[in-house]
Structure 1
């Protein structure tokens, strides 16, 4: 399993061919990298076996930047200093966009910006999908770059552009149960440990923003775009549900479809495969047998830092449904569960 890790510059091989394109784009890249190594700075990296696949350097700034037109006024910001991925699809890009936004939330920073050459259209499109917009330009000896900026709290009433913000006004809140064998693959940074988790270090290959879950629970048909889901990991059989069934994550519903909405198997596979935990063969079987007809597409907005147990839900928050597969949660219960889970309250907007 490939993990995003925090790695010191001094421990990263500057001669790796991964950096060749960055050296071509930025004449000062070598000297910049060496300087960061001497300053004992770190970056986020991801390797497949020993091959470097992704590199992300983030920097907190609070000064005026007159090299950008129009200039950035003095304000505490998160700068995406260097960002490169080698990937065939968008999942790896999504994982690192999520990492950027996670860091901004943890560091209490509401504005993020990145400079990028316009030849990198796939990455530009991905950033725009999640709320970055064109702010201006920056011209250096290397050429002219676009400046993309995102303010977390300049809301667009769009689930993706506003990500990771969760808006509760006029939204229904549900608990959605997921079996452990599926949960681990879908929400693997929401591990089963009732202790604090460092969100900056604990992320795995399944930590993409979009998630697709396929099930047979009829009540999921009540979900609508923008509704909030508390992911409820059912007991793994290692103990009683009171302690082993836990709420681990917050998601927001994008849409719920019926398998019969897809008139061909190919369309079903194209929709589900990129963000589903199931293999192509398993998905083919689902389509042909129609045993699991409901498809939930959602965004993965936050992992709990402390897991909230079934016992807490019942004793402390009065959540006592007849059926734990899909259950209703009131706004007051939701707020209390968020506090118990130590979710950063800034991402929840009433």
Structure 2
């Protein structure tokens, strides 16, 4: 992206004012995103005409670090353009017309100026959406380059690395594995590197994931991976076990990468025999691609934009469940799988989907406690239902009953169990379920339906019961699981499901 900047913007930096602060923020954003900031040669020539030598020297010093727009187009001979902008009144007007012509002819993407006359001309030309004041530019680029943060439970905090204690026990093993760990920690602190962290009750670190966005090559021992926009998981460590924090971190990382338009996500790791982390990440599509050239640790990478051909190839060889795991959160939604609406009571929805919009946080969560089943990607749902022909790969649309009365979430069936006793159900669901032993005992007194599934994501647009009825998807609020295969296209449209994540 190329942004032309009027020199009057830079001259404002001399003032100790809010405008100057806004410019500093704008430049920080543009520099971080590697946006090319350009100065028009005529703008520089105008400064050189300043008779105040001291002011001229200062002004020129403000723009010397920015390149000039190369071979800028000249409007001489473009009668249509000159007619619209009007006859120039003076040399300053002529220069404004030449500078604005660079936007008009698409030599640059945007132009930032405080000159109201230029803004009026831009409006006449129909390019006013590409010509900003400083405040407009700051607002626009802040929104354009805003880093998306996925919703995370209260037990997780988003922190800067420099706010962590480098001497915390959780870093001891990393210090043993990596020579120069402390120097590296200082470097990433200076970078302002981000992390997600869980603190124990004594303020020690129970789990931490340090990450960064990058656009660089990956140097392996035997090859080099091309430059791409990636998210690198620099550190992935959980000392606190049994809470499915690994799955939670993985979910947050993938969602963060997707929302910030990364094409791949990767991490480096010194693998060990029976390595739990390797088992976890490979289950969700991370593949070993080689050894890091510098440290010789293993590099695991996940493709976030698989082609339809890759998805179909895996589907043909291993089926829809393998697709949902390997290319999570992509899924197969073609005719070979059925689609079901599954009603779920608010109290169970609350525990199963801790990141759902508008959810009220519980008191234990404020004390850094986890709702374990809320951390998982693989979840379990138990209900009393009539016998339904449900198979692995089928799609589930969870309908939150009683209060909001809307379809909220998509899942892919992994396994289905019917008519199991309490002991068997407990063994099957493990820590995936939202139900207590007592609740399982009560449910298992009737015909029991146990569904193990992979949560894909919440619907971009939840679908209210009234919408479902109006679209003839439902006649009334569902009381049990309903097959809606023939209504899926309608649900897909109403829920604004992005076809990027589906294939048939």
Residue deviations 1:258-312 (CA, integer Å, cap 9, x gap): 133x7x82x43222122011223443x258x532511011111102354332223
Out of 166, 181, 187, the position equivalent to 2:347 is 181
Q: Which of 235, 241, 250 pairs up with 2:402?
A: 235
Match of 2:419 in 1: 259
Counting matched residue pairs gives 322
C-alpha distance in structure 1 between counterparts of 2:290 and 2:406, whole Å: 45
TM-score w.r.t. the length of structure 1 is: 0.83
- Do the aligned partners of residues 334 and 292 (structure 1) sit closer, same or farther apart at CA in structure 2, a change above 3 Å counting? same
1:218–1:249 CA distance, 2 compared to 1 (3 A)? same
Offset of residue 213 of structure 1: 0.8
Deviations 1:126-167 (A, max 9, x none): 111111121111143x5x311112213143331322221121
Question: Residue 269 of structure 1 corresponds to which residue in structure 2?
Answer: 426
Q: Output the CA distance in 2 between the equivalents of 1:320 and 1:306.
A: 17
How much has 1:116 moved relative to structure 2?
0.8
Check if 1:212 corresponds to 2:364. no
Name the CA distance, whole Å, in 1 between partners of 2:356 and 2:268.
32
Q: CA–CA distance in 1 between the matches of 2:276 and 2:380?
A: 22
Match of 1:298 among 453, 458, 461: 453
- How large is the RMSD of aligned CA atoms in angstroms? 2.5
More deviation, 301-310/100-109: 301-310
TM-score (norm 2): 0.59
Call closer, same or farther: CA 1:127–1:312 in 2, change over 3 Å: same
Separation in 2, partners of 1:309, 1:322: 12
Which structure's CA Rg is the greater one? 2
1:118, 1:145 within 8 Å by CA — same for their partners in 2?
yes
Paired residues of 1:2 and 1:204 also in contact (CA < 8 A): no
Q: CA 1:248–1:145 in 2, change beyond 3 Å: closer, same or farther?
A: same
Give 1:105 deviation, angstroms. 1.9
1:192-248 deviations in Å (ceiling 9; x for gaps): 47xxxxxxxxx97513111111100225x2221111111111123xxxxxxx21222
Structure ranking higher in helix proportion: 2
Per-residue CA distance 1:83-139 (angstroms, 9 max, x = gap): 111243472211111112111221222322211111271100111111112111114
SS in structure 2 of the partner of residue 18 of structure 1? helix
**1:163 and 2:317 aligned:** no
Which region of structure 1 is more displaced relative to structure 2, 16-25 or 105-114?
A: 105-114
**Alpha-carbon contact 1:255-1:297 (below 8 Å) kept:** yes
Label 1:215 to 1:309 Cα distance change in 2 as closer, same or farther (>3 A): same
- Paired residue for 1:130? 284
Counterpart residue number, 1:148: 300
Structure 1 unmatched ranges of 5 or more: 194-202, 237-243
Contact 1:106 1:344 in 2 (8 A): no
1:281/1:268 CA distance change after superposition, 3 Å: same
Stretches of structure 2 that go unaligned for 5 or more consecutive residues are 1-152, 316-321, 360-369
**In the aligned structure 2, how far is the partner of 1:61 from the partner of 1:277?**
38
Contact 2:384–2:446, Cα closer than 8 Å, also in 1:
yes
SS of corresponding position for 2:261: coil
- Distance in structure 1 (CA, Å) of the matches to 2:464 and 2:339: 18
Of 61-70 and 177-186, the range deviating more from structure 2: 61-70
Aligned pairs (5 A) from 1:1-350: 3-49=155-201, 50-89=203-242, 91-119=244-272, 121-140=275-294, 142=295, 144-152=296-304, 153=306, 154-155=310-311, 156-157=314-315, 158=322, 159-170=324-335, 171-192=337-358, 205=372, 206-218=374-386, 221-236=388-403, 244-260=404-420, 265=423, 267-283=424-440, 285-286=441-442, 289-291=444-446, 293-315=448-470, 317-322=471-476, 324=478, 325-327=480-482, 328=484, 330-339=487-496, 344-350=498-504
* 1:58 Cα offset (Å): 2.1
Who is 2:108 aligned against? none
**Structure (1 or 2) with the greater strand fraction:** 1
